[in-house]
Amino acid sequence: MSDGLDELAAQAEVLKLSRLLKAPPERFDFLERVPPEDLRLLRERATDLLFDSNLGALRRMAVASRLLPGAVLARIAERVFGPALCARVAGLVDVPRGVDVARRLSPGFLADVAAELDPRRASEIISGIPAPTVAEVAGELAGREDWITLGRFVGHLPAPAVSASLARIPDAALLRIAFVIDEKDRIDHVIGLLPPERFAGLARAAAEHDLWPSALDLLSHLGEAAGNRLTAAVDALEPDLRARAVAQARALGIPLRACS
């Protein structure tokens, strides 16, 4: 990985850490020179510390929740527990039970829970939620410009849910989400689910919203097929826009393949 890509990865990790700690990203600017893998480890350990506090009480709540019908529990979750508590308990309930309750929650509340959830702890529940519901939640989060939550969940969703969600996410939003996605090795698979015409939209969005760093970071994680499509889309832009992309790619040490 080039120094430029390391810098982008560190910036993405700082954004995610600041979100976890509910503090402005500027407070953590000094960490941008720390290796991104170390920043991710710090974030994961901080997440574990937050989620493991009061673990005994949370486990008792999860056991007690088995006594309630799913419809009743979903109603209580929205009206009484709130998203933060639901997010803490989600990883402690049985998977079929968790999926059943999640299907009964409103998309808006599920989006609230998703923003508080550590998806590593509820991966099986997340993957069991029907694709149309996931797409509604993705649309809600995109409307809130909550790129970080969307980025944390991509690696835990099956292909049908990802495809349904991509249809609800605009091109500029997709670039922002890809920049902060946790599972970078999933990016090529996710982008490969896009229809071919979306690549021109990604290139245009990068130019119109000054998202070249995000677009180039995305390109660096794509395989040959998707990478060539995105590069060709950049190459089809007007000369001045293409020149800006090439200049930023050279600064970051990212080859634009067919681009000149």
pLDDT of residue 30: 93
What rounded mean pLDDT belongs to the chain? 92
Distance, C-alpha 32 to centroid of its chain: 20
pLDDT of residue 259: 45
Distance CA 33, CA 39 (A): 10
* Contact call for residues 163 and 193 (beta carbons, < 8 A): yes
| pLDDT beyond 70 at 260 | no
pTM here? Answer: 0.89
Q: What is the mean pLDDT of residues 85-93?
A: 91
| pLDDT beyond 70 at 242 | yes
Q: What is the mean pLDDT of residues 42-62?
A: 89
Element containing residue 150 per DSSP (H, E): helix 147-153
Distance, C-alpha 69 to centroid of its chain: 32
* Contact call for residues 207 and 244 (beta carbons, < 8 A): yes
- Supply angle C-alpha 253, 259, 260, rounded to 5: 90
pLDDT single digits (tens) 177-219: 999 999 899 999 999 999 999 999 999 999 999 999 999 999 9
pLDDT of residue 254: 76
Q: What is the CA radius of gyration of the chain?
A: 20
Distance CA 118, CA 113 (A): 10
* Contact call for residues 155 and 186 (beta carbons, < 8 A): yes
pLDDT of residue 21: 92
The conformation of residue 253, written as its DSSP 8-state character, comes to: T
pLDDT single digits (tens) 107-166: 999 999 999 999 988 999 999 999 999 999 999 999 999 999 999 998 889 999 999 999
